[in-house]
Structures are given as C-alpha cells and as structure tokens.
Chain A
Amino acid sequence: MTDGSRPPAGPPRPYAFPSIEREVLSNGLTVLVVPMRRLPVATALLMSDAGAECDPISHAGVAALTVNAMTEGTRRHDAAALAEAFEQLGGSLDTGNSWAHAEVSTTVLTAHLPSALGLLAEVMCEPSFPEGEIGRLREERMAELLQQRTEPRGLADDMFARFAFASNSRYALAEGGDERTVVGVTRDVIVAHHARFVVPTRSALIVAGDVDPATIMQQAETAFGRWIGDAGVTPDIAVDAAHSTRQVHVVGKPDSPQSELRVGHLSVPRTHPDYHALSIMNAILGGLFNSRMNLNLRETHAYTYGAFSRFDWRRRASSFETSTAVQSDVTAAAVREILVEIDRMRGETVRPAELSLAVDYLTGVFPIRFETTAAIADALVMRESYGLPADYFDSYRDRVAAVTAADVLRVAHEHLDPSRLQVVAVGDPDLARAELEALNIGPVQQYDASGMRTS
C-alpha cells in the first residue's frame, strides 16, 4: 500500500574510493594501478602533460594533432596494422586531449592486457608519424572547422572563448586550433612537440580493472622501462580578459529557429582554494536540473529545452559560462533572465534547502560517478592533470559538506562579475540584434559564421 508519506532513507552504507597503488619507474614514468575485481576487464590509459597548453599560439592545435598522429603508425606497425592489432584484442585505440593533457587508452578483457600494454608503449614511445597520415589529419581538422560554420553549438563555444580570453592567450583559440594555425602544423612541428612533452617524466600509466598491481608494475617496466626523453618546459599563457566591460556579440546565422546563447567571463584556475565553494554555488545557479537557471528558463518560461552554467576549468585561468538554446523571438528576454539570476546569486544568501540539495547531491552521487574502469581512469587523469593531492578523492565529500551558505555568497560575489560578462548569441541577426540592443546591457557587435566582424 502506498500513501502520501515519503519513505525515509535507511542507514547509509559506507563507500570508499578504490585504493590506488603508485610507483615511479627508474625513467620517471608514474604508474598508477586501481584494482576493480567485479568484471574481467581493464582500462589502460597513458597520459602526458602535453595538452593544448603546450601549443605555441602560432601552431595552436599541435597537441591535438600529435596525439591523433601517434595512432597512425609506429616503427613496427603501419597505421592500418596498428588499428587491426588493437581491435583483434577487442580494444579500440582511443585518443583524447584537454588543455592540460593528452592521452591514449584502450579497454580490453584482462586476458589481453599484456598485449595491449605492449602496443600502447609503441604508440607512446615510437610513433612513426607518417607524412601522408598527418596531412590527412590536418585536412580532417580543416573539415571540422568548415562544418562548424553551420553547427551553432560548437560555433557559440569557440566564439565565446574568443571574447572571454585576450587575443594573445592560447585559451582564446579552440584546443584543436583554427584554419590559420593548423595549416602550419607540419610533421616537424609534431615530432618536436612529441619529443618535448610526451616523455616519461611528464607522463603516467593508469591501469584500472581486474588486475594485480604487482604484475602490472612488472609489465609496465617491461613495456616502458627503456623509454627515455628530456622534458621540455610548458610555455607561459596570457590569462587576461579580452574585454573589461560587458559586451554583446551577435553571430549571424540567418533563419535560425533558435539562438545559442553563451554568457560568462574569465575566471580563476582549477586549483583555486574556492573550488569546492564555486562547485556548490554553480550547482545552485545552473548545475543541477532544479537549479535556478533551469527552473527559470525552462520550467517557468519554457524558453528552452535546458539552461546550464559551468566553470570550464583550466590550469592557468578558467571561464565561467552559462549556456542555453532559446527560441529566436525570446533571445533578449532569455539573456535578461540569465542576468537576473547571476545578480540574485550575488545579492542574497541561498536558502538552506538550496544549499542542502547541492551538497547532498554532490556527496551522495560520488560512488555513482566511479562504477566503471574508464571512469576511475578519468578521475585519476583529472587528479594528475591538476596536481591534486593524493587524498583528493578520499577527502572530497568532507570538503564539499563543509561549504556554508556564507561561502556561497562570498564566492558568488567575488567570482561572478556582471559588469564583465560577455554575451554571445548565435542566431538570426534580424530577430536577435534589435532586441539585444533594446536590452541596453552593452555595445552590440555582429559577426558572420566564419567569425568576421560585419558591424
């Protein structure tokens, strides 16, 4: 029999983040092993401190192209043979990169792990970088950039970065670079990037799965022990804002049924001491389904399918950013509501129920985030990328639970600045522009889909 009373929670059952075995090989390669014994699978991931932050601005995109090019052949396997060798083991050879790191990884049944580690070592240590494959990858990035002109979400993200970060900052350009920078990323540039940054002392091998740590340490020594290389130094990155005042940027996409909106500005690095308070503040503002932003724009006004805010964390400077896609004729009204919510966040203390929702969610959902070998590997990539302490995951829930309503108000006040917000609207300029001007929140500039200023 059901009735109107909510069932109480039972006693909470304990959860501990899996234990991590760590060793550093004699060549400086860090090895992290996380035993997870439920299913006979393992994820093996190699990461290097070789992300887009290592790109010279003139060659923006080299980090991304390098990690992709590493999978295009080694001294022992050409590109097709390498893909075939991984896939015969049941693993795909995956690559990824962020501002902070570059990675290659695969997930296989544990029986195939030793062979997979051998292949990953080839990819990391002795890629052959065939000229023809590099040319093809460069063309594929150009194709992606071309396609973006009709893809409003990616276009809005890239344009926002350009208005959030100063033009002399690497962060102002997409991680993959643009047409002007990618064209210059030759084989020589890639080989040099690999030699400087994909080296043992800037790298870690992460293995999560049904494995014995001692065995993995031995296999790591066999596969990677002879790898050598002198580490380069990460270039400095300018971390200034592009604009010191609030501005509106309309990117024209005629006849769009919706406007893609981005509203935000430059913010502090991931390692800032306010990180946990900012996470809670953002959850309340626009991180959760029942956040102020989503309830206002979606559930009250029905302007959109969803409205969210987030911090796009980076090591030197991050960005705070609200995103939503709204029906074209409410573009200005939606921007107004976003500004109202940001002001409200800075102006008044959050209600206890809002604070407890965010804290209880972030602490309660913690075990659910780490069910898979890939999720554990990603968590360690994050920890290593930002140089977070060894007990980061063990103490995470306590640090989140310690955030108070006063902390939330303080960080909102310190880290959200309405006078510096950059507003980007990718949409029909005929509908969006006049309304945004009438909103009177700052000067309005207009661009075409290739990013050229048109007025």
Chain B
Amino acid sequence: MRLPIDTFLLDNGLRVTLSEDHTAPLVAVNLWYHVGSANERLDRTGFAHLFEHMLFQGSANVAANEHFELIQRAGGTLNGSTWLERTNYYQTVPSNQLELALWLEADRMARLVAAMTQEKLDTQRDVVKNERRWSVDNQPYGTWWEKLPALAFPPEHPFHHSLIGSMEHLNAATLEDVAEFFETYYTPDNAVLTIVGDVDTAEARRLVTQHFGSIPRGRGRPPLPEMGLPSVFGDWRREVVADDVMVPRLFLAMRAPVLASDDYYPASVAGAILGMGRGSRLHRRLVREQQLATSVSAFTFDLAKGSDLLIVDATARPGIAGGSLETAVGDHLDRLHADGVSTQEVTRAVALIVTDLVTSLQSAQSRADKLSQFATFFDDPTLVNRQLEAFQRVTVDDVNRIARARMGRDNRVSLLYVPREETGGEGQSSSGVAQLETVR
C-alpha cells in the first residue's frame, strides 16, 4: 500500500507534490505556508490566524469572499486553518476544475495586498474576536487552548503564546502588519503545494508552472528563536483554574518527541496505550473500574520542532474532587513509568494506529494534507509511505524506554479546572485568578 508520489521544484522555490488517483473524478489542492503562531511578533498574538481570514478577502483579480463563491459554485469544498507551525489552505474540487483552484491560490500568493482595505481588516478583526468568544471565552474549559501551552513552554518560547490571540493584540493589528507579514511569509519558497486525485501528472505540472512560476521568490524566512528544550520539564508544575464549570477537568501534559523523530513512534504507541480507545489503560481504570472520570483520552499536538506535548485529558464524574482525579492520573502514569507495558498492550495500540493511518488515506484531501505536512517540515513527502512500518516496528522495549524517559514525575504539567465553589476545598483563592505552583 504505497501512494504514488512525484515531486518537483519551481525556480522560485515552490515545492510541489503530486499523487495520482483516478478512483473518483475529484482533486484535492492543498497549500501549506510554513508560518504559524510561532512566527508572530509577541505584541501581535493571534495575527497569523487573523491573516488567514484576510486571505479570503480577495486579491487583485478576486473579490472578497469570491474564493468561497467560485469554489462552491464549481462543486468544491474549502477552508483554511492556522496552527503553531503552519497555515494551510485547501479545496477539493471536481477534477475538471483543477485549474480554477490553482488560479485562485496563485492570485492570492502573487497579488494579495492590492485587495486589502481597512474596512476588510476591521470586519475580520471583529469576526475573529467573535471566534475567540465562541471557541475560548464562552465555552467551558475553552481557555485550556491558551493556558496549557503557556504553562508547558517557557515565556520566551515561540509555542508559549496564544494562537487565537488576545483582544488587545487583535485590536492593534494594522494594514501595514498585513503587508509585512505577506511579504515575509507568503512567498513561494516558504510554501508547499500538494495535488492529489484525478489528475495527469504532466498536465498538473504544466498548470502549476503556468500559474505559480512567475511569482517572485521571497527574501527568506526570518529565523525563529532557539526552539530546543530539555526532554523533560524537570518538575511537576500545576495550575488550578476556578471557572464557570460544573465538574473538574484535568489536562496533564508531558514533553514528548517531535513528529517523525525516532522516538515519536514508540511515544505515540505509549500515548495510545494510555488513552486511545476503550481498551486503553486510563479508560479501563478511571472510567470503568474506579469510576472517577466520565471520559479520558490522550493525544499530541504533532509539533515538528523543539518539543511536542503528550496530553491526557480527563473529565471528572460529578462529585469527584479535581485533586482526586489528578492524583489518580498521576498514579497510573507512575505505574507506566515504573513497570512498563505488556506485549498485548503494544499490539492493541499499534493495530488501532495502523487502522487510523490507512483510513485517513481514504480522502484525497487528508492524503494531500499529510503529504504537505511531511514536505513542509522534512522536505520529504515520501515519509508518508514509511509511517506504517515505523509503527509496526515498535517493540515493548521501545515503549518501556520512552516511558522511563518521559513519563516520570519530572515531566508533567497539569492544568486542573474546578467549579468555582470547589476552590475552597482545593486550597485556592476564590477570586478566580489562576495560580502557579510546583509539586515534586
């Protein structure tokens, strides 16, 4: 089960990946810019994401929101998303509409700034502020998205600050910022284009060259500050947040190996043993046996530089104190750290991961997104064809080595949400102000 992969490089530095598949008459066009919230100025948090919104506000030959209109009229789907290390824009269209999608992406890569106005910026700023209210401020536990990275990465680290951004910084964004960010990061040499589906490779290559070939190369991407971090936190740092919630919920993070590194595979298997599926350790123990939690899962951010995070997310049953839940999760991690895992646990976890991987290759867009991911971070989209084997090779010893190295008490931060009235019992102030403390 190998995906066919062709790659080529335009003179302006745009890296292109093609993967033909004629099962259905559709094609996925997926463009990654190697820029995310990590690249923002610290007085402009949220800007990378606000900028993503501006990319749908038109370019020299496209009116505001016309990108949506043209793709949907063509019978396609589209969206964009911003993450810590990248921003992606993607559409799936009937295969006879490939050129339309390429033209739209090329027009905004080449000629965005001409279409930018103060009014558009002000409108999207307000839309994004409402996105923040909707996803963070008016959702129970919604602030975990910014509190956990703030706790897990040092203040000067590019992953420390808020992806959605503060209201103050969103207010401060100007049209000059838009122009500067565009010139710095939205250049062909800082982008990866992937086309998957019902296309002829030679024809796709011709169209890509025609539409993107004349866009000038950028000035080069400014270097990020040092991203490297020790493999463990060095202690167990806790933050308790008294909030408008009915039951406690714990987010416990460990520093974890970065995406596609040698240790990434056994660490992912360890994560699946802990918290993937109803047969996982934490589900069996916390939900079914001890009945301290109503749900529990473990996942990573899939970060490619510096350090990733393996996060356990557990919601307490009503009546269970947040502290009891945190202690129990800690105990199960201690056990994994000290005693390791069984062969049966590894085979279960690998089987689930393998099914997920193969299933995720079913849609052209999700295949394209994976190819773009490996092309952007490692300049090698063919890594996608080596993932299955890398997981299938993982042994009990590999997992135990990672558990010893990464799952001890010296590698934890926990963010514990508790109902406001529970704070007295947790020994916290009742002001609702978050506190930092360290336990060993």
Contact = CB atoms under 8 A, between A and B. Distances in A.
Contacts of A290: 65, 68-69, 72
Interface stretch (A193-201, A264-272, A295-303, A436-444): A295-303
B75 A363 contact: yes
A143 B24 contact: no
Interface stretch (A21-29, A33-41, A229-237): A33-41
Interface stretch (A1-9, A48-56, A183-191, A338-346): A1-9
A289 B68 contact: yes
B275 to A, nearest CB: 13
Q: Which of A71, A109, A326 counts the most B-chain CB atoms under 10 A from its CB? A: A109
Contact of B294 (A143, A149, A258): A143
B250 interface: no
A367 B210 contact: no
B232 interface: no
B271 interface: no
Given A91-B355, A357-B69, A372 B103 contact: no
A136 interface: yes
A392 interface: no
Contact of B25 (A15, A357, A372): A15
B75 A361 contact: yes
A410 B21 CA distance: 43
Contacts of B26: 367-368, 371
Contacts of A108: 355
A257 B137 contact: yes
Given A143-B294, A290-B72, A150 B131 contact: no
Interface string A138-151: 01101110110111
Given A92-B278, A143-B294, A258-B138, A371 B363 contact: yes
A65 interface: no
A361 B61 contact: no
Interface stretch (A82-90, A219-227, A244-252, A377-385): A82-90
B54 to A, nearest CB: 13
B97 A80 contact: no
Interface string A51-86: 000000000000000000001000000011001101
Interface in B164-212: 198, 210-211
A1 B214 contact: yes
Nearest to B361: A39
Contacts of A257: 133, 137-138
B74 A9 contact: yes
24 contacts: A1-B214, A6-B100, A9-B74, A12-B25, A38-B23, A88-B344, A88-B351, A89-B351, A90-B351, A91-B352, A133-B288, A140-B317, A257-B137, A289-B68, A302-B126, A305-B135, A326-B130, A360-B72, A360-B75, A364-B74, A365-B72, A368-B94, A371-B26, A371-B364
Given A39-B358, A361-B73, 6 more contacts: A4-B60, A39-B1, A79-B288, A146-B318, A360-B72, A368-B77
